[in-house]
């Protein structure tokens, strides 16, 4: 086990250029990467090896131990060395998604690479790049991607995002925490549900 926070904070949005808007998932940040032929995973302020799974069992996100028992070795084989997948682990937030994502517990929102100091670089949020961390350029069926809500060439103001949020929530028929906005591979967040309650977004 290594004490280290691997994924950086996401900034809140105030205004954007050409963008891809994905749903902000009410989950827990989780990162997987392969280094020297071994699978690592990072949650909160710690990085674990798959080989430490049993001894670190009590420290893991709810449901993650069983998921890694089932899929950990397969994921280790499928990832390229020094490749990283970042995403949200569903099941520990205030929003209960029910069957919205079926049996998928991990939703990717970025791919990256990792260096010998376990720092991330080459972080990409465009979903067409998500295949490249994998040896066969195929995402395993036990991993999915965060839902894309909208793509637009216009720069949306907060008032426009408020309308898009309401429309999207009505479309999916469930609670939505907010959006992640990808503008030129720079991401920011627009949040409407805070602690399970609807609030106004503030920068």
Each residue of 60-116: pLDDT tens digit?
Answer: 999 999 999 999 999 999 999 999 999 999 977 788 887 778 779 999 999 999 999
Query: Is the pTM higher than 0.85?
Result: yes
pLDDT value at position 31?
A: 98
Nearest by Cα to 127 from 141, 111, 104: 111
How many residues are recorded in the chain?
203
Cα 134 to Cα 38, 131, 143, 171, distances in angstroms: 14, 6, 12, 32
Measured distance CA(66)–CA(80) in Å, rounded: 23
The rounded percent of the chain whose pLDDT value lies above 70 is 94
Nearest by Cα to 60 from 45, 43, 82, 77: 43
């Amino acid at each position: 086990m290594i004490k280290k926070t691997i994924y950086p904070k996401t900034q809140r949005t105030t205004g954007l250029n050409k963008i891809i808007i994905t749903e902000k998932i009410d989950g827990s940040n989780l990162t997987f990467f392969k280094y020297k032929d071994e699978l690592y995973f990072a949650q909160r302020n710690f990085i674990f090896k798959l080989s430490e799974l049993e001894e670190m069992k009590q420290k893991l996100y709810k449901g993650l131990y069983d998921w890694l028992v089932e899929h950990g070795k397969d994921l280790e084989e499928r990832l390229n060395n020094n490749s990283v997948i970042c995403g949200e682990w569903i099941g520990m937030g205030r929003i209960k998604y029910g069957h919205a994502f079926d049996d998928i517990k991990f939703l990717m929102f970025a791919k990256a690479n990792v260096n010998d100091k376990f720092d991330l670089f080459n972080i990409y949020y465009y979903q067409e790049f998500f295949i490249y961390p994998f040896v066969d350029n195929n995402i395993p069926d036990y991993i999915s991607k965060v839902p894309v809500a909208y793509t637009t060439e216009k720069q949306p103001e907060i008032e426009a995002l408020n309308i898009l949020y309401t429309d999207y929530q009505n479309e999916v028929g469930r609670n939505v925490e907010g959006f992640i906005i990808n503008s030129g591979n720079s991401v920011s967040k627009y949040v409407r549900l805070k602690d399970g309650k609807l609030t106004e977004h503030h920068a």
